[in-house]
């Protein structure tokens, strides 16, 4: 008898097909967010539930009677949407998908940096609206990227991948904040300078990119006080987690031109976006596209499949969180 597996959202077809060969798989064919009640039923009816980073699994959802599920195969690296303490208390195993989305997410961070610096989204809207009157020496002047200073808050895989693209591709100077120094070979390659605190880094950088995990410890890390430390000509890039930035504080800083611009791929309460952002020309907005390439999303699904296969075979899990 095949193990029962539930996917909370649709995955690449090739991975769904592989899963269906091995397991009794149920798909969320409407591809819509599930309600807490639906999650609870899934935990009671399936051996494995595979959530995504947009699914919320607090303690009250995980604490269900007669639970059949023993493993949450998370489709994504981040897992702050899962109450890990509650999952552990309930005897649930949690896995994630590290390593395979590094380059694609770093690509999106660089995309947003370039869009914000060169006012790409604003220019696109202007052309589409039929408002472009032709070339002019002072029209839509913007910020240089080549040779500018990039500050990275967090210096894990994705941040280092972005730093390589920025340093080797655009000659950018690299600064970073991290609790402990990066590996010496990385520092030497990128000529990276470590700052002791976020407050030290912010005034020195032309671009600041966020690469820290979400959760209570980093909630509103970029608040009004820290945004005020950035240069008026600086740009903020966020491909990490939406709640790392205080949305109202950022909207205020952008509206008042206290910073030059921002590029966002993640948001507090997404997919709901604060309407204040929509009224601003100096913010570039993407719909959480960090890992959204065919190859990367397929590799993420394969990671989940590998973890499920190891679990059901009684082997060590390659990407176990708890």
Is residue 97 over pLDDT 90? yes
Res 294: pLDDT: 98
- The percentage of residues in the chain with a pLDDT greater than 70, rounded to a whole number, is 100
pTM, 2 dp: 0.94
Average pLDDT over residues 96-124: 98
**Integer Cα distance of 142 and 116 in angstroms:** 9
Determine the pLDDT at residue 240.
97
CA 199 to chain centroid:
23
Q: For residues 249-277, give the mean pLDDT.
A: 97
* DSSP type of residue 35: P
On whether the 101-285 domain is CATH 3.40.50.720, my answer is: yes
What's the order of all strands across the beta sheet hosting 71-73? 24-27, 4-7, 48-50, 71-73, 93-95
The ranges of the chain annotated as CATH 3.40.50.720 are 4-96+293-313, 101-285
- For residues 6 and 27, give the distance between their C-alpha atoms in angstroms, rounded to a whole number: 6
Residue 197 near residue 221 (C-beta atoms within 8 A): no
Which positions are annotated as active-site residues?
241, 270, 288
Least confident of 228-232, 254-258, 267-271, 300-304: 267-271
4-96+293-313: CATH topology is Rossmann fold (3.40.50)
CB burial string 181-199: b at 16+ within 10 A, e below: ebeeebbebbebebbeebe
Average pLDDT over residues 212-228: 95
- Report the pLDDT value the prediction gives residue 215, as an integer from 0 to 100: 87
End-to-end CA distance of the chain: 27
Higher pLDDT, 269 or 159: 159
CA 82, CA 95: separation in Å to the nearest integer?
A: 11
CA distances 49 to 52, 90, 222, Å, are 10, 14, 34
Span 45-79, pLDDT tens digits: 999 999 999 899 999 999 999 999 999 999 999 99
pLDDT at 233 over 90: yes
Helix (H) or strand (E) holding 194: strand 193-195
Cα distance between residue 79 and residue 69, in whole Å: 18
């Amino acid at each position: 008898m095949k193990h029962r597996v539930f996917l909370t959202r649709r995955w690449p077809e090739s991975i769904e097909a592989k899963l269906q060969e091995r397991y009794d798989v149920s798909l969320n064919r409407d591809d819509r967010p599930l309600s807490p009640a639906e999650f609870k039923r899934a935990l009671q009816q399936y051996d494995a539930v595979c959530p995504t980073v947009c699914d919320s699994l607090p303690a009250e959802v995980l604490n269900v009677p007669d639970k059949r599920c023993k493993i949450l195969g998370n489709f994504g690296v981040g897992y702050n949407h899962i109450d890990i303490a509650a999952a552990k208390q309930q005897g649930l195993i949690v896995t994630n998908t590290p390593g395979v989305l590094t380059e694609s997410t770093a690509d999106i961070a660089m995309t947003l940096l370039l869009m914000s610096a060169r006012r790409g989204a604003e220019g696109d809207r202007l052309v589409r609206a039929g408002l472009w009157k032709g070339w002019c020496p002072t029209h839509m002047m913007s910020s240089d990227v080549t040779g500018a200073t990039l500050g990275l808050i967090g210096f894990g895989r994705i941040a280092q991948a972005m730093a390589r693209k920025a340093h080797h591709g655009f000659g950018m100077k690299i600064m970073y904040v991290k609790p402990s120094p990066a590996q010496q070979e990385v520092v030497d390659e990128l000529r990276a300078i470590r700052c002791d605190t976020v407050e030290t880094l912010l005034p020195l950088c032309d671009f600041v990119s966020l690469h820290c995990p979400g959760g209570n410890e980093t909630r509103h890390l970029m608040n009004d006080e820290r945004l005020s430390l950035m240069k008026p000509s600086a740009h903020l890039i966020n491909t990490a987690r939406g709640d790392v930035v205080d949305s109202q504080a950022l909207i205020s800083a952008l509206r008042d031109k206290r910073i030059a611009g921002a590029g966002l791929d993640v948001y507090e309460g997404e997919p709901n976006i604060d309407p204040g952002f929509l009224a601003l020309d100096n913010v570039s907005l993407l719909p959480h596209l960090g890992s959204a390439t065919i190859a990367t999303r397929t590799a993420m699904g394969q990671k989940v499949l590998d973890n499920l296969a190891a679990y059901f075979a009684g082997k060590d899990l390659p990407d176990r969180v708890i």
